[in-house]
Structure 1
Amino acid sequence: MLLLLHLFDSVTSSPVSIYTPAPFLPLQILPPSSFPSNLPSGPSSLIPSSISSSEERAHCPLKMSPSTVVVRFEDPVTVNCSVPPTGFPALGWEVPNRMETPLFTMDRFLVWSVARMTEWNIKPKCYALVEQGGQCHIELLVTVYQPPDSVSISFRNHSGPLLEGHQYTLQCEVHNIAPVENLTVTFYRGQTALGQLLSNNTEKKPVTEIFTLNINTSKEDDGVQYWCEAKLELGPEGPQHPPVVTSQKLKAAVLFGPHLICPTKLQVKEGESLSCEVRGNPQPSVTWLRDGQEVVLPSHSSRKHAGKYTVWTKGHLGQKNFTVEVEILSGSGTANSCNRYFLLAILFIQIINWL
């Protein structure tokens, strides 16, 4: 009788020894039906909430593989949690705020898996009992992401052509992005990056957010293309090629007044055309004056064409006058070039005759 009592006492004081470790099935671990009823149902009282995830991992010898998860919405997830060979009689997974039955095992490892990740802010915890008393747990860091449905660029509160010397606001609208705090938006002018913007929004679910950038226009901006790029920076645990979505190209039309292209002191070789360009958007009318009389610029200049000219322009944005002083350089124009080639030809013929 004493022997039976002794055996009974040893069985009840060591519950781990009377349970066979639950078998491990890849991607599916069911809670053992014979798991002791007096074990805690979860890790809510394990470690004070003030302890960070990094501190938890330092004091709790549980290991996760992978240690952090970056998963696209509706993709599968599989994570293995393991404990050292001795000192931990039971291991479990729990997902707070979910009605699912926690997973338990008396083996050294336990897999938590989800066929389709459909939650945006999920915080699974792996915990273990300690033979010396107490429990410990670590939280799995999960980032659920979704690339934007679309990205568009426009000018805020403006449509149509822009005016030179004015300030405008470019806006880049990113639709249904998650998590927006991992998003970097870059504005471009052609292939030149104008600036990068980040969001202060910590919402984990998909949101639509607008990013803005102020620009000052000049005549050089006429015809350039503006666009923006949305890039999810998910770190080394994320996709090898971070998700990037770009907007359409927005071609700018900038209205500007008459602008003289050539210098105010213009040197022209004798025999060449006298030309000086005036640009504007829309293109202005241009009239050349010399000594108060309207003139047509010569296609073959000579010394008589030297002097001061007045360029009178008129356009949609007003009118402007420019003064151009023309200097004719002798001996370098088309006529002199022809004479030089003619003399060389004669000299070449004479050399042949001498031979």
Structure 2
Amino acid sequence: MGWETTDNPKTLNHSGHLTWTVESTTNWNIHLSCFLTPLPDATFEQCTVTPKFVLYTFPEKISISSSSGSDGVMNVKEEHNFTCHINHVAPVQNLTVRWYKGDKLMHTDAFSSPNKKPENQTSVYSFTPTRQDNGITFRCEAHMDLGPEGPQLNVSSEEKRVTVHFGPDIKCLYSINILEGETLESHCPVEGNPRPSVRWMKDGHGIDPGSPLYRGDAGMYTVKAGGVSVVKKVLIFYGPNLKCPNSYTAVEYVPHNLTCTVEGYPQPNITWYKDREEVSPPENLTRSDAGQYVITASNSLSSDNCTVEITVLYPPSPIVELEDSEVDVGSDVWLKCSSKGNPQPKYSWNYYQTTNVLEESEDGVSRLYIHNATAYNMGSYTCHALNERGNVSKTVRVTVKGAKQECPIKITPDRMVISFNGTGPTATCKQTSTTTTNVKEIYWDVDGSRRTNNESWNADTHEDWNADPVCIATFEGLGTCRKPLNFTLYKTPDSVLLHPCLQLDLSERGRSVPAAV
């Protein structure tokens, strides 16, 4: 049994085993075999076994370089190469190179050279940077895998930090939407490496992009960064601000001009609510539209609301609850007059006023109370309802059963007898009531063709032989009535002659008088 190498002669041993030891060698092509020679009487021939033998060398350090130069500056989207340098390494086929970006394994490079002698090897990693890669580090690691029996060898290069140049890039669209109080730089950052010089302008004036913007700042802006200049439309978003009057008064069926002002962007939507239900405000308001409204302005940011009390003015409605009445003499009766209107109607009555009639108004209703009815309570009663928008009226009639209609006038004197060419008293015709408003008109009709325009009449003692004076009066509620005056105009004879046989015919102004015999 023995060992045979290319460096040493055969080593023989007659025992059952033999160890081969080498302190060092520089023969990278060394060959080693173990042989066994049988005894002469053996039944097998000489045999040989070749063990696996690896001679290796591994560097203590490796280096990394970049096509971008020693400063590590790269332009975005341009391909760059990193090279890992591993010097004096063998065997190469057992070598792998690992590339790391930060702590992330990016690529593994293996080698297939059959050469067993030491070589200088390089591994190249191609890289196209983005702006997010600025400041990242790269390194390469060399690993030697010598199998389970051998050591696991590895070494790392120094880290190569890269600087990525890019931009300037203006990171916003043409139209910039900004909430009130926010800044331009928060919505339209300008990025670049090296950091670009940025200038914002509006209407030719410089603007600090870090200052808050408000609703009045909307408009067209110019941003200049490096050699780039672009125009941006800036829109300021803010919640609604709604202003309405607390109250509004409208005339029914007349177009209203209730105006609310609203600010906000995006443009707010206006919604009307009445009794918590959404309604559409009519162009012309009616009485049924009166009430309290909540007006809401809302956009995507917030909402605002106002409460408006709407009053609708309209004329009094037709009078209700007032009807003709019949009452027994000495009994009581109520007359009721009711109308709806805004403002609330005021009531007035036309009738022949007496002391036993009382008026009262309460809760938008007017009443007449006739107590202990008499003949003077007979007649028409008219109720008027009035406000600033119009008026209505209704007339009914009260009949007093058991009473006879009377004409409430008094003639003084009640009889007049006046001599021809004499001087007589003045006849006066007055109403019996002390209420002056009861009488509308009072006059004398002398003979159907002549009349006076006052309460007094004086007879013409030369001409009024055929006078039939009548006092005529028109009263509120009673209408027109009349009373005649018992009137006589006389003349005594001028002379009297006595004749026994003759009957004399004396004439005076065409009138025949009996002759005295």
TM range, smaller chain: 0.5 to 0.7
Pick from 124, 127, 130 the counterpart of residue 218 of structure 1. 130
What is the one-letter code of the residue matched to 1:141?
Answer: K
Identity of aligned residues (%): 31
Residues 207-260 of structure 1 show CA distances to partners (whole Å, capped at 9, x for unaligned) of 211111221122222221111111112222222xx2111111111122212023
Per mean C-alpha deviation after superposition, the further-off stretch among 186-195 and 292-301 is 292-301
**Are residues 299 and 309 of structure 1, via their aligned partners in 2, closer, same or farther at CA, if it must alter by over 3 Å?**
same
- What's the counterpart of residue 10 of structure 2? 102
Whole-angstrom distance in 2 between the partners of 1:313 and 1:157: 26
1:83-122 to structure 2, matched below 5 A, reads 91-95=1-5, 97-98=6-7, 100-122=8-30
**Are residues 226 and 263 of structure 1, via their aligned partners in 2, closer, same or farther at CA, if it must alter by over 3 Å?**
farther
Give unpaired runs (5+ residues) of structure 2. Answer: 241-517
The root-mean-square deviation of aligned C-alpha atoms, in Å, is 2.5
Bigger radius of gyration among the two: 2
- What's the counterpart of residue 146 of structure 1? 57
Whole-angstrom distance in 1 between the partners of 2:216 and 2:210: 11
Pick from 96, 99, 111 the counterpart of residue 184 of structure 1. 96
Give the secondary-structure state (helix, strand or coil) at the position aligned to 1:243. strand
Whole-angstrom distance in 2 between the partners of 1:322 and 1:234: 65
Give unpaired runs (5+ residues) of structure 1. Answer: 1-90, 332-355
- What's the counterpart of residue 303 of structure 1? 215
**Are residues 306 and 298 of structure 1, via their aligned partners in 2, closer, same or farther at CA, if it must alter by over 3 Å?**
farther
What is the one-letter code of the residue matched to 1:196?
Answer: T
Q: Structure 2 length as normaliser, TM-score? A: 0.42
**Are residues 329 and 172 of structure 1, via their aligned partners in 2, closer, same or farther at CA, if it must alter by over 3 Å?**
farther
**Are residues 108 and 302 of structure 1, via their aligned partners in 2, closer, same or farther at CA, if it must alter by over 3 Å?**
same
Whole-angstrom distance in 1 between the partners of 2:213 and 2:232: 18
Q: CA deviation at 1:293?
A: 4.4
Residues 279-305 of structure 1 show CA distances to partners (whole Å, capped at 9, x for unaligned) of 212222212133554322363332223
Give the secondary-structure state (helix, strand or coil) at the position aligned to 2:65. strand
**Are residues 319 and 269 of structure 1, via their aligned partners in 2, closer, same or farther at CA, if it must alter by over 3 Å?**
closer
**Are residues 243 and 326 of structure 1, via their aligned partners in 2, closer, same or farther at CA, if it must alter by over 3 Å?**
farther
Give the secondary-structure state (helix, strand or coil) at the position aligned to 1:142. coil
Give the secondary-structure state (helix, strand or coil) at the position aligned to 2:18. strand
Residues 59-112 of structure 1 show CA distances to partners (whole Å, capped at 9, x for unaligned) of xxxxxxxxxxxxxxxxxxxxxxxxxxxxxxxx11111x32x2311122211111
**Are residues 144 and 329 of structure 1, via their aligned partners in 2, closer, same or farther at CA, if it must alter by over 3 Å?**
farther
Q: CA deviation at 1:123?
A: 2.3
CA contact (8 A) 1:271 1:301 kept: yes
Give the secondary-structure state (helix, strand or coil) at the position aligned to 1:204. coil
- What's the counterpart of residue 237 of structure 2? 328
Does 1:155 find its partner at 2:63?
no
Pick from 263, 270, 287 the counterpart of residue 180 of structure 2. 270
- What's the counterpart of residue 107 of structure 2? 195
Q: Which has the higher strand share?
A: 2
Does 1:319 find its partner at 2:228?
yes
Q: CA deviation at 1:133?
A: 4.3
What is the one-letter code of the residue matched to 1:328?
Answer: F
Does 1:256 find its partner at 2:184?
no
Whole-angstrom distance in 1 between the partners of 2:96 and 2:228: 45
**Are residues 281 and 122 of structure 1, via their aligned partners in 2, closer, same or farther at CA, if it must alter by over 3 Å?**
same
Does 1:127 find its partner at 2:39?
no
Whole-angstrom distance in 2 between the partners of 1:127 and 1:319: 82
What is the one-letter code of the residue matched to 1:135?
Answer: Q
Q: Which has the higher helix share?
A: 1
Structure with bigger RCO (C-alpha 8 Å, 6+ apart)? 1
Tell me the matched-pair count. 234
Q: Structure 1 length as normaliser, TM-score? A: 0.59
